[in-house]
Structure 1
Amino acid sequence: MPYVSRPRRRAPWSPAWASRNYSLLTAATVVTSLGSNGALIAAAFAVLEAGGDGGDVGLVAAARTLPLVLFLLIGGALADRLPRHQVMVAANTLNCLSQAAFAVLVLAGEPRLWQMMLLSGLGGTGQAFFAPAAEGMLMSSVKGEHAARAFAVFRMAMHGAGLGGAALGGAMVAAIGPGWVLAADAAAFACAAALRGLLDVKHIPPRTPGDGLLADLREGWREFSGRPWLWGIVVQFSIANAVVGAAEAVYGPLVARDHLGGAGPWGLALACFGAGTVGGALLMTRWKPRRLLLAGTLCVFPLSLPAAALAVPVPAGALCAVMFVTGLSIEVFGVSWMTALHQEVPEEKLSRISAYDWFGSVALVPAATALAGPSEAAFGRTESLWGCAALVVVVTSAVLFVPEVRDLRRRTEPVTLGTPAAGADADAGSADAERPVGGLG
């Protein structure tokens, strides 16, 4: 019997263009963003309060990111073979349990470095399987003509929650300690798993059996490597994400402790970044740049500013202003990137391509965060931060030499059903090209 697409239900509180799945995905993401942004601050200060130094903070951060590198490609292939919502729920459950155990260790006192690294690694494993499935599920929940607006609203909600989570998390760490913030993050993952368990996947065509996991990975690689704009930007962000991750995960808390007054001001600075991303997403609900990737890439240059501001270091108020501008500009890239991916990638390959995107974007982060402490010892914190800022500028300049990055345009012609891009962005069009970079947001 041929597959017949069924109309997707809509939640009663959501806009006319938002499907029920889109609303559930957005709500779950808001919940986890509230918890996770505070938990990132809590984890760093848990290490410092246990007697660790900058190198130890970097090791715990690297322990979370390393499983992303190891398991992302497998997670992407599985998400294109199994029901994506089941993969997402299982991953959220693992994140819930690992954060709950981390919270218990911190609240009990005297957590050991290896224990914190192990639990952070379990959290990263959950993220490795969650991220490709979640991105594929989000893409399939949006109709073509509303894709750009839907992605902007989704990201605005996500970053708005991150704004509140970072500010609240920093304040909670200062007031009651990092353990309770980690416990709140565990509860957030439990709530999100329940919401994602309600997703309706009847509208998604059944997956046809493939030739195996390795064959799926090879097919995903052919799709990925055949698009210079795609792999060029992923390479760009593999370096930019690594140095920005080191600056924010390791040097940021240290500068905050030594010059800004501790966790509170640093949490506020991260919240200002979140506020900027909300502003950028709001801008992108109205602005539709014709050259998607050119406009987005030009807005990546300000990503070098936070590391430069920490290198000076500037006062807390100036750092907050820098973070706001950076968040606003990088969100222009984020929405443009998602729209380009939705325009160019067939639905049945979204998770695999997303996995290659995520893999490239995080591949160097474990090494960068682990080397942040030794780099500080060898060159100095200020010099290391200036190096981070310079690398962002260099790699962003380099990717502008890729013709497709400069020339890829938002498509306005209608998509012909039955083509590989059917169901993609009506602002976009067919889909011979491809997808991704997650990175910052």
Structure 2
Amino acid sequence: MTEAPSPRLRLPSWAGRNYTLLTAAAVVTNLGSHGALIAAAFAVLESGGSGGDVGLVAMARTLPLVLFLLIGGAVADRLPRHRVMVAANAVNFLSQGVFAVLVLAGDPQLWQMMLLTALGGAGQAFFNPAAEGMLLSSVSGEQASRAFALFRMAMQGAAVGGAALGGAMIAAIGPGWVLAVDAAAFAVAGALRAFLVVAPLTRSEAGGGLLADLREGWREVIGRAWLWSIVLQFSVVVAVVGTAEAVYGPLVARDSLGGPAPWGLALGAFGLGTVGGALLMMRWKPRRMLLVGTLCVFPLALPSAALAVPAPVGVLVAVMFVSGVTIEVFGVAWMTALHQEIPEDKFSRVSAYDWFGSVSLAPLAMALAGPAETAFGRSSALWGCAGLVVLVTAAVLLVPDVRNLTRRTKEVTKAAPSPAARPADAVPAGSADAEGAVGRLG
């Protein structure tokens, strides 16, 4: 008697080899990195550092990220993106591994921690544009937003466990072992990404040097009001939210919440919220995606306000969950807009400008975190963070393209001329062209 074949897990038709490998690698990376973010802060504090020192280490990671992002984007549109990603993972493996050894050996110096985190930030500068370009090119058609939502749900689901486990591990065995786990995660993720299959990109224009590539990417960005305005918005949002969570959050946790475990729980709740937001976006496809996404940025002010009070752990966990849900709605809407509007051969360069704008103010904000706490008090500094999120998000809603950019109901050709390549009196970004392509401004 012939046995019935065992049931096999069936992936959706749009989840091909590259998409599956990218998702698996992102899960592994996030399991390690979210715990490591907490571990780095507590490694500084346990070595005798102050809140200002935590800010300096965070700044040391972000500064090279800002300096090398644009070059990383141009490189990722020239070389096979998966090779750039694997090389960057190797750099992060080495930097986190040495950081872990120093912490486990005892008495790491501030300059050593800053140097190693700076090396990791440089690796991320090349990794981020390549990874986003790779993901955007791994899916096509009307299911793109669902694919992005599933990817982000898997990635953020790993962050839930990583943050909660990281906080518990720091409390139980110290931050050094959490950093070691993160180094191992980079090694595994890099091995998975080595199996990606990448066809050579067909460039829409004759290639020049890196500077020519950067100018071409700049024209793509500046020709779309919705793109550059949201990038400017997030230059402030990322700076103040990142400062609140990377610098002030651990200090509030130490002084008022009972240590690293409750803060790890709060970060885990944020990750759980992002899973819920991604799950929502697998079913919901708002027509005016950027309008909906931008409205969902307002709740990012809530965690800073809760830390300013400071609110009880239960309240902090709740607001972190809500902000996680809403920022994930924005994230999926943003990726869908980029996938819909940007030519494939420019994905990484546009992503680099996006990342560059978004993190450009973060080093300054983190460096000023300690002086701001001294000058105004921690609570006032956190209320300032919350107020800036509300202010810049309200301002970006004044841009018509942000309110009106609509989702297309069918795929259009990626090689179509970009707004930056059209005459100045041509149709605005996101609108239908002369042939009547779907996706006009409503």
TM over 0.5: yes
Structure 1 residues 265 and 418, CA, compared in 2 at 3 Å: closer, same or farther? Answer: closer
Q: Does 1:356 pair with 2:353?
A: yes
Letter in 1 for 2:239: A
Secondary structure of 2:142's aligned partner? helix
The residue number in structure 2 matching 1:188 is 185
Q: Does 1:317 pair with 2:314?
A: yes
Deviation at 1:130, TM superposition (A): 0.1
Deviation at 1:360, TM superposition (A): 0.3
Q: Does 1:112 pair with 2:78?
A: no
**What are structure 2's unaligned runs of at least 5 residues?**
1-7, 419-426, 432-442
Q: Which stretch of the first structure deviates more once superposed, 291-300 or 198-207? A: 198-207
Q: Does 1:159 pair with 2:156?
A: yes
Counterpart pick for 1:148 among 145, 152, 159: 145
What does the per-residue CA deviation read over 1:176-205, in whole Å, with 9 as the maximum and x for residues that have no partner?
000000000000000000000000113754
Letter in 1 for 2:380: E
Q: Does 1:51 pair with 2:55?
A: no
What does the per-residue CA deviation read over 1:226-283, in whole Å, with 9 as the maximum and x for residues that have no partner?
1111000000000011000110000000000001000000000000000000000000
Aligned equivalents of 1:417 and 1:52: distance in 2?
51
| Structure 2 counterparts to residues 23-422 of structure 1, below 5 A | 23-202=20-199, 204-205=201-202, 210-416=207-413, 419=416
CA contact (8 A) 2:204 2:415 kept: no
Structure 1 residues 418 and 210, CA, compared in 2 at 3 Å: closer, same or farther? Answer: closer
Number of residue pairs matched by the alignment:
416
What does the per-residue CA deviation read over 1:137-184, in whole Å, with 9 as the maximum and x for residues that have no partner?
001100222101000000000100001100000000000000000000
CA contact (8 A) 2:401 2:429 kept: no
Structure 1 residues 345 and 433, CA, compared in 2 at 3 Å: closer, same or farther? Answer: farther
Deviation at 1:211, TM superposition (A): 1.0
The residue number in structure 2 matching 1:425 is none
CA contact (8 A) 2:343 2:415 kept: no
CA contact (8 A) 2:224 2:428 kept: no
Aligned equivalents of 2:413 and 2:145: distance in 1?
19
Deviation at 1:415, TM superposition (A): 1.7
The residue number in structure 2 matching 1:5 is none
Aligned equivalents of 2:68 and 2:192: distance in 1?
24
Deviation at 1:214, TM superposition (A): 0.4
| CA RMSD of superposed structures (Å) | 1.8
Letter in 2 for 1:79: A
The structure with the larger Rg is: 2
Aligned equivalents of 1:143 and 1:385: distance in 2?
41
Moved over 6 A (4+): 206-209
CA contact (8 A) 2:270 2:321 kept: yes
CA contact (8 A) 2:342 2:414 kept: no
What does the per-residue CA deviation read over 1:110-142, in whole Å, with 9 as the maximum and x for residues that have no partner?
000000000000000000000000000001100
**What are structure 1's unaligned runs of at least 5 residues?**
1-10, 422-429, 435-441
Aligned equivalents of 2:273 and 2:179: distance in 1?
25
CA contact (8 A) 2:300 2:327 kept: yes
Aligned equivalents of 1:293 and 1:417: distance in 2?
20
Q: Which stretch of the first structure deviates more once superposed, 123-132 or 203-212? A: 203-212
The residue number in structure 2 matching 1:15 is 12
Aligned equivalents of 1:287 and 1:37: distance in 2?
28
Q: Which stretch of the first structure deviates more once superposed, 264-273 or 408-417? A: 408-417
Letter in 2 for 1:135: E
